[in-house]
Structure 1
Amino acid sequence: MESAQQTPELTIPAALDQAVARFSDRDALYADGLWLSFSELRTRARRFAAALIALGVEHGDRVAIWSPNSWHWPIACLGAQYAGAAVVPMNTRYTVDEATDILQRSEARVLVSAGVFLGSDRITQLDAAALPDLAHIVRVAVEAGDHTNWDEFVAHGDDVSDEDIDERKSTVSSEDISDILFTSGTTGRSKGVLCMHRQPLAASLAWATYGEFTENDRYLCVNPFFHNFGYKAGILACLQTGAALMPQLTFDPEKAMAAVQEHKITVLPGAPTIFQMLLDHPARKNYDLTSLRYSVTGAAVVPVVLIERMQSELDFDLVLTAYGLTETQGFATICRSDDDAVTVATTCGRPMTGYELRIDGAQKPGDEGEVLLRSANVMKGYLDDPRATAETIDSDGWLHTGDIGKLDEQGNLTITDRLKDMYICGGFNVYPAEIEQVLMRLDGVADVAVIGVPDVRLGEVGKAYIVRKPGASLDVQSVIDYSAKHVANFKKPRFVEFLDELPRNLGGKVVKPTLRTMHEENS
């Protein structure tokens, strides 16, 4: 077995070259019904780089990708970085206005975009006049019947020599910007996070090491590539360990189970809702899922029973939870293989290699405070926003996450809430995540989110938004009565509303501003 080795040059193009040297003919990427080898993956990435060079893309320019998980995404990403450009991943759910804002702020020269996706052709809706920097659009066909200019675009590089491609690659350094991911925007306007080549490589390799990745693994990637969970914990983790990557365009439980059976998938990370959907699917017993080995989940409340069922009913040997931010490459802490199900479900584990963590103001285990992180993998800064950068990273290098957490005696981190989500009821601080953990143990609750809402007497009180399990007969009073038995009176939700689903971003996080808006509109 090949051991995971960090490329000494610490650039993504060098990592691709090293992957070919180590895993040349092994499966790397599933594309249009066929597996591409690592050698073929590099060939296609270099052809994409050649096209960029031919069309005038310079070292340091930006290439945006606005497309769901298809084989085009990793090739465009690695090809752009091979040409010395920084990649700007864009959320596939962006409206045209949101996408235009990102393209303008990043000054992207090239856009790789799906044409028709989820019933809309966004490319035709873009206003070219509003995007003076955007010189080329590469159209990717991800739905049947759509057209593409991918091959025509790549053909622009036919006259670019291998020597020219190598020369451009040689200009890329470990301190160059590799990608600009925009924060999810749950606190307002998204900010562009500047990351350097050495950072996602080091962080994703450490993450893969905790999962014991090898070249024998096959990784079904249902997490979107525009998110760190798909890009860095997917593409880059596989690139450095020899694991084969199979993208899924959008998550479909039965298609995912069919892929696991046919391709002997071993690695399947995702948000808790994904595994709940698999467990609840009526056709699950028709599929052989015994090849599954490893999963990481998180981004939401994780019931202990879910971890146990993932192991007993979905056949995972190892299930871990983790914590990270866009500003730290998506990584920071992770549980370990010898942690029990309770530790995995109720904590985010301990700091990964290369990360330091402390709780601001904490004097002893159990004390709550803001989670601070320090690492060579902390972002270079926010795009064109030195003020926000200075407010986030202090003079000692600690990144202020805006998350409230605590450490137990073993150093495991539990996130109790976002600073902005904490509310004050009758003078007492209330952390919604604590109430959510309690309510997830109530029979019939499938999903829950708690927010603080205005109250004339107490300042703020709790409101729980709950998704019932199929067939559950939960009502408002039963939720309030259960809460009264398990939490202090000031923590008990005063209001309960049932929803078919909670609003989540594609990273799996509940978008609580949407819930607050819903409450205001209904008040």
Structure 2
Amino acid sequence: MSPTPQTTPAALERARTQWPDRPAVRDHQWGDAVDLTWSELADEVATFAGALVDLGVEPGDRVAVWAPNSYHWPIAALGTHCAGAILVPLNTRYTVSEAQDIIDRSGALVVVAAGEFAGVDRLSEVLASPIAENRTVIGIPLASAPIERDAPSSIERDTPSPIEPDAPSPIERSRDHHVIAWDDFVGGATDAGIAAAHRRAQAVRPDDLSDILFTSGTTGAPKGVLAEHRHTVAGAHGWGANGGLGLGDRYLMVNPFFHTFGYKAGILPSLLFGATMLPLAVYSPTEAMKAVAAEAITVFPGAPTIFQTILDDPERTGYDLSSLRLIVTGATIVPVVLIERLQSELGVETVITAYGQTETSGFITTCRPDDDALTVATTCGRAYEGMEVRLGDNDEVLTRGAMVMRGYLDDPEATAATIDEDGWLHTGDVGSLDGDGNLTITDRLKDMYICGGFNVYPAEVEQVLTRVPGITEAAVIGVADERLGEVGKAYLTRRDGVAVTEEQVLEYAKAHLANFKVPRAVEFVDTFPRNPSGKILKRELR
């Protein structure tokens, strides 16, 4: 294999050259299966990138993607990069107001939004909101037919697209109406746009920004993490190399693509090592086991709760899961017995855990394939190649190296508070290191907790809850949950004489917060325990 590229466009070109006829993507969720080889995927990406160029997207512009896992996602993400633009992934669980805040702050000019998914039509919500104003919205109809492989792609056309010379192209029409269907968007790409996108892809440099992933801060305001191509690719390569990813692997992608686990530990390692991507938009034990059995899945990363539900499913013995060779988990405490059961009951050869943050593209430490079950379950492993880990004041975990972000979007103060003058990123987590360098996370300096694999910052939730009429103050903590790892519990004080109910609070929270941020329990208190300066003592609430 040729040397590791340092940008995603370079990685795609290498994949197209080295494995043109190998399977890259197989998506069988929306009717007939969509199968793309690496050569075909590269063509689809080039067409999407060319359409962006035709639309007027310039290098450094931002393109937001608000969609579940499907074959569209890697095409849009890599197409954005090949056009020289910056990807802004959006959590599919966000409310439209949360999405709008991130789109506005990132300055995204184009929004790729899916139609009905999980009972919600995000595309309709976007078009009915200020998001659609002065932006182009590209709509993904998830029930649409797969890409037609019998027809040549735009990059293969010998003749211009059959559009009347005086008629506006679909892209030109989108400038007036600000919305265009996916098929019309890519179908309207011109040869000139595709050629320009090819030149831009070659011009992308390792220190150019690849993406802005937003993660809530301790103040409750989301912060945009600026990652460069070299950060992103270094982490993805380290993850794939550690798992021994290769051409024969078939990767079931349950982790959402908007998250580092799905994007940077999913799409990009597959791009670097030639594994086949099989996206799954909605997880259920049954659907996952069906996919493993039918598609001979070999690689299956996910949160511990995913594997717990599979192990405990009474129908599990009816599915052939013997093809699985690699499971990667983390994001929360992993029971030793879970690791042992995955190895003994499923016969999985390699089970590893890892630790990272959005600020490091998701990669700080990882267990190795030859680590024992106790090490895998009780530690986060050792630093990735190119990364360093040490403990600072109060045993805070500090890290620096190849995967550390450039900084936060439009927030130099937060950047300086997080990355010190020596380049050490202060994670806010408290931990310990054993003699072999294995890291164990023991507590958090921040109040953040992890619900179903997603970070939740109580300050953001508290700001919403204190807007409930009659609520005077709020304190939110994470409490243990067998299925999700941790869930939120809200302690609230009420204005005298006002009768606010738990149902009213939760109804308001559901309308203004993504589901994973909504507390699962509410308790009303007369007063809060406080320190001498008046700060609420959350440790006493715990």
Residue type of the alignment partner of 2:423 = G
Residue type of the alignment partner of 1:97 = S
| Cα 1:243–1:190 shift into 2, 3 Å | same
Determine the C-alpha separation between the residues in 1 that align with 2:116 and 2:346. 34
Match of 2:349 among 292, 317, 320: 317
Query: TM-score, normalised on structure 1?
Result: 0.79
Residue type of the alignment partner of 1:64 = A
Determine the C-alpha separation between the residues in 1 that align with 2:129 and 2:324. 49
Match of 2:420 among 376, 386, 394: 394
Kindly report which structure 2 residues correspond to 1:69-468, keeping only aligned pairs within 5 A, or say none.
69-126=69-126, 130-131=130-131, 134-143=134-143, 149-160=181-192, 162-184=194-216, 188-361=220-393, 369-421=395-447, 465-467=480-482
Alignment of 1:518 onto 2:514: no
Check the 8 A contact 1:219/1:246 in 2, yes or no. Answer: yes
Residue type of the alignment partner of 2:442 = T
| Cα 1:396–1:143 shift into 2, 3 Å | same
Following TM superposition, by how much is the alpha carbon of 1:4 offset from its aligned partner in structure 2, in angstroms?
A: 7.7
Determine the C-alpha separation between the residues in 1 that align with 2:315 and 2:218. 35
Following TM superposition, by how much is the alpha carbon of 1:204 offset from its aligned partner in structure 2, in angstroms?
A: 0.6
Following TM superposition, by how much is the alpha carbon of 1:164 offset from its aligned partner in structure 2, in angstroms?
A: 2.1
Determine the C-alpha separation between the residues in 2 that align with 1:260 and 1:4. 31
Aligned partner of residue 192 in structure 2, secondary structure: coil
Following TM superposition, by how much is the alpha carbon of 1:514 offset from its aligned partner in structure 2, in angstroms?
A: 3.4
Residue type of the alignment partner of 1:518 = V
Check the 8 A contact 2:50/2:195 in 1, yes or no. Answer: no
| Cα 1:466–1:28 shift into 2, 3 Å | closer
| Cα 1:518–1:233 shift into 2, 3 Å | same
Residue type of the alignment partner of 1:514 = P
Partner of 1:436: none
Residue type of the alignment partner of 1:404 = V
Determine the C-alpha separation between the residues in 1 that align with 2:322 and 2:53. 45
Aligned partner of residue 183 in structure 1, secondary structure: strand
Partner of 1:20: 16
Check the 8 A contact 1:334/1:352 in 2, yes or no. Answer: yes
Partner of 2:468: none
Check the 8 A contact 1:107/1:134 in 2, yes or no. Answer: no
Partner of 2:4: 6
Aligned partner of residue 222 in structure 2, secondary structure: coil
| Cα 1:262–1:111 shift into 2, 3 Å | same
Following TM superposition, by how much is the alpha carbon of 1:124 offset from its aligned partner in structure 2, in angstroms?
A: 2.4
Aligned partner of residue 368 in structure 2, secondary structure: coil
Following TM superposition, by how much is the alpha carbon of 1:385 offset from its aligned partner in structure 2, in angstroms?
A: 0.7
Determine the C-alpha separation between the residues in 1 that align with 2:225 and 2:75. 22
Residue type of the alignment partner of 2:42 = R
Check the 8 A contact 1:5/1:240 in 2, yes or no. Answer: no
| Cα 1:186–1:320 shift into 2, 3 Å | farther
Aligned partner of residue 267 in structure 1, secondary structure: coil
Moved more, 318-327 or 151-160: 151-160
Determine the C-alpha separation between the residues in 2 that align with 1:194 and 1:520. 40
Check the 8 A contact 1:382/1:388 in 2, yes or no. Answer: yes
| Cα 1:317–1:403 shift into 2, 3 Å | same
Check the 8 A contact 1:111/1:134 in 2, yes or no. Answer: no
Partner of 1:495: none
Residue type of the alignment partner of 1:6 = T
Structure 2: runs of 5 or more not aligned: 146-178, 451-455, 459-474, 485-508, 510-514, 528-542
Aligned partner of residue 84 in structure 2, secondary structure: coil
Check the 8 A contact 2:270/2:276 in 1, yes or no. Answer: yes
Following TM superposition, by how much is the alpha carbon of 1:284 offset from its aligned partner in structure 2, in angstroms?
A: 0.6
Determine the C-alpha separation between the residues in 2 that align with 1:466 and 1:284. 23
Check the 8 A contact 1:107/1:133 in 2, yes or no. Answer: no
Show CA shifts across 1:337-370 (max 9, x none).
2211011000000001000000114xxxxxx610
Partner of 1:499: none
Following TM superposition, by how much is the alpha carbon of 1:303 offset from its aligned partner in structure 2, in angstroms?
A: 0.5
| Cα 1:375–1:48 shift into 2, 3 Å | same
Q: How many pairs were matched up? A: 441
Q: Percent identity, aligned pairs only?
A: 52
| Cα 1:104–1:369 shift into 2, 3 Å | same
Determine the C-alpha separation between the residues in 2 that align with 1:205 and 1:105. 30
Choose between structure 1 and 2 for higher RCO, CA contacts under 8 A separated by at least 6 residues.
Answer: 2
- RMSD, aligned CA: 3.0
Aligned partner of residue 206 in structure 1, secondary structure: helix
Check the 8 A contact 2:339/2:376 in 1, yes or no. Answer: yes
Check the 8 A contact 1:324/1:333 in 2, yes or no. Answer: yes
| Cα 1:318–1:390 shift into 2, 3 Å | same
Following TM superposition, by how much is the alpha carbon of 1:23 offset from its aligned partner in structure 2, in angstroms?
A: 1.2
| Cα 1:90–1:327 shift into 2, 3 Å | same
Check the 8 A contact 1:109/1:133 in 2, yes or no. Answer: no
Following TM superposition, by how much is the alpha carbon of 1:239 offset from its aligned partner in structure 2, in angstroms?
A: 0.2
Check the 8 A contact 1:221/1:246 in 2, yes or no. Answer: yes
Determine the C-alpha separation between the residues in 2 that align with 1:518 and 1:465. 15
Structure 1: runs of 5 or more not aligned: 362-367, 423-431, 434-448, 452-459, 470-502, 504-508
Determine the C-alpha separation between the residues in 2 that align with 1:101 and 1:464. 28
Show CA shifts across 1:371-396 (max 9, x none).
00001321011111111101100000
Aligned partner of residue 319 in structure 1, secondary structure: strand
Residue type of the alignment partner of 1:226 = F
Following TM superposition, by how much is the alpha carbon of 1:131 offset from its aligned partner in structure 2, in angstroms?
A: 4.1
Check the 8 A contact 1:4/1:241 in 2, yes or no. Answer: no
Query: TM-score, normalised on structure 2?
Result: 0.76
Residue type of the alignment partner of 2:439 = L
Check the 8 A contact 2:247/2:276 in 1, yes or no. Answer: yes
Kindly report which structure 2 residues correspond to 1:22-41, keeping only aligned pairs within 5 A, or say none.
22-32=18-28, 33-41=33-41
| Cα 1:5–1:245 shift into 2, 3 Å | farther
Determine the C-alpha separation between the residues in 2 that align with 1:81 and 1:133. 24
Determine the C-alpha separation between the residues in 2 that align with 1:261 and 1:418. 39
Check the 8 A contact 2:382/2:439 in 1, yes or no. Answer: yes
| Cα 1:21–1:521 shift into 2, 3 Å | farther
Check the 8 A contact 1:370/1:419 in 2, yes or no. Answer: yes
